[in-house]
Amino acid sequence: MLDARRIREDFPVLRREVNGRPLVYLDNAATSQKPRCVIDALVEYYEGYNSNVHRGVHALSVEATARYEEARAKVTAFIGAPSHEQLIFVRNTTEAINLVARTWAPANVHEGDEILLTEMEHHSNLVPWQKVAQDTGAHLTFIPLAEDHTLDLSRLETVLTSRTRLVALTHVSNVLGTINPVKEIARAAHQLGATVLVDAAQSVPHMPVDVQDLDCDFLAFSGHKMCAPTGIGVLYVKRPVLDEMGPFLHGGEMVKEVWYDHATWNDLPLRFEAGTPNIADSIALGAAVDYLQGLGMENVRQHEVQLTGYTLNALKELEDVTLFGPKDLNVRGGVVSFYAHGVHPHDLGTALDKLGIAIRAGHHCAMPLMRKLNVPATARASFYIYNTEEEVDLLVDGLKQSLRFFSHVTRRA
């Protein structure tokens, strides 16, 4: 098990107060906090060997290149990818998915084809496919949500057809916390010749993920949700899908030879990394991977299972509070969304902030799912390695206090 109290010491920001109270940070699905070792990796780069990569012969450039590629190797191993050539550094999950939509999709998705998504996708894994559908004349189809907020797989045979070119789905829902059976869906999709993209923004930071075990063709995630800085993300691509993909952005670094009228493309993965990459943040992502591996991803998962169970138990006692997501902790990540009837989640979020408690309130970039759940928005607490049961107690007390306040205000109005 993780020792969250000890882990907290590694995160400088957790020492601060907000509105005169110790910070209780429960917005980890939006972005995680950063440990000292990640911040140090950034400072060491800028103070010690700041330089461009893959283009210099001087010592600093050689060192920066080595550290940049070392980070790629760490991330490759972290997700069980067979080769560093299949690991493309991008800005975030959104850019990774757009890369696939702009490069793979035009060559593989045609009029009348289907792109199968789920009803719980983040806008990042919905809007790019709406654009592909508009451009190509393909149709979007959806695996529906079941009553218990898992995917209704009894409908898979109906929605997954011989016309399905791509199945693009989230591994873990950022609203419901549902862990989707990606491996099973990928197997069914491959049997029909479809390609599979996994949005792993909420899974790679929180549990062991092995791309070869999942057997997905694409896997996308963001560094900032897993202790690394903002501005660095990853796209993994399986072979031979990768070999058939044309470049995304064009310019320096992604070329091998250039003439005035044409150019040839660089080797993998640099073919997909045009221009100067995000060197510092990639190296810091490597440091974040080291840190998480030191804790053990299975321990990270178990810690969140425990906190989520503890939270659900406490919240189910509250009157007029609807909880979303599966009850079964085996298929649920560390995300707890809820709706307190009669109180807008934004008001709740503001009231909790006054107590130093940071939760997320809003549509969580999943507007169609909000409509499906029949709520304007939800409040969401989401956990990570440094959260404790004491913090959950503070959340629950704060909620009770806020709900009492709002019911009083409503009665007087």
- The residues assigned a catalytic role are 365
Please name which of 197, 147, 166 lies closest in space to residue 373, comparing C-alpha atoms.
147
* Helices 297-315 and 279-295, axial angle in degrees (round to 10): 80
Chain residues that interact with ligand PLP, rule: CB under 6 A: 29, 92-94, 122, 124-125, 170, 174, 199, 201-202, 222
Structure tokens at 202: 């909420």
Cβ closest to ligand PLP, residue 174 vs residue 402: 174
DSSP secondary structure letters along 27-82: BTTT-----HHHHHHHHHIIIII---SSS--SHHHHHHHHHHHHHHHHHHHHTT-S
Tell me which amino acid residue 388 is.
Answer: T
CB of 182 to ligand PLP, least distance (A): 13
Please name which of 122, 94, 97, 89 lies closest in space to residue 197, comparing C-alpha atoms.
97
Cβ closest to ligand PLP, residue 91 vs residue 303: 91
CB of 371 to ligand PLP, least distance (A): 18
CB of 380 to ligand PLP, least distance (A): 10
CB of 285 to ligand PLP, least distance (A): 13
User: Which three-class secondary structure state does DSSP give residue 266?
Assistant: coil
Q: Do the Cβ atoms of 224 and 31 come closer than 8 Å?
A: yes
Cβ closest to ligand PLP, residue 199 vs residue 253: 199
Cβ closest to ligand PLP, residue 220 vs residue 351: 220
Q: Do the Cβ atoms of 78 and 293 come closer than 8 Å?
A: yes
CB of 145 to ligand PLP, least distance (A): 15
Distance from C-alpha of 132 to C-alpha of 138, rounded to nearest angstrom: 7
User: Which three-class secondary structure state does DSSP give residue 257?
Assistant: strand
Cβ closest to ligand PLP, residue 85 vs residue 199: 199
CB of 137 to ligand PLP, least distance (A): 26
Q: Do the Cβ atoms of 264 and 255 come closer than 8 Å?
A: yes
Distance between terminal CA atoms of the chain?
Answer: 49
CA distance to 92, 186, 234, 265, 284, per residue, from 76 (Å): 16, 21, 10, 22, 15
Cβ closest to ligand PLP, residue 229 vs residue 286: 229
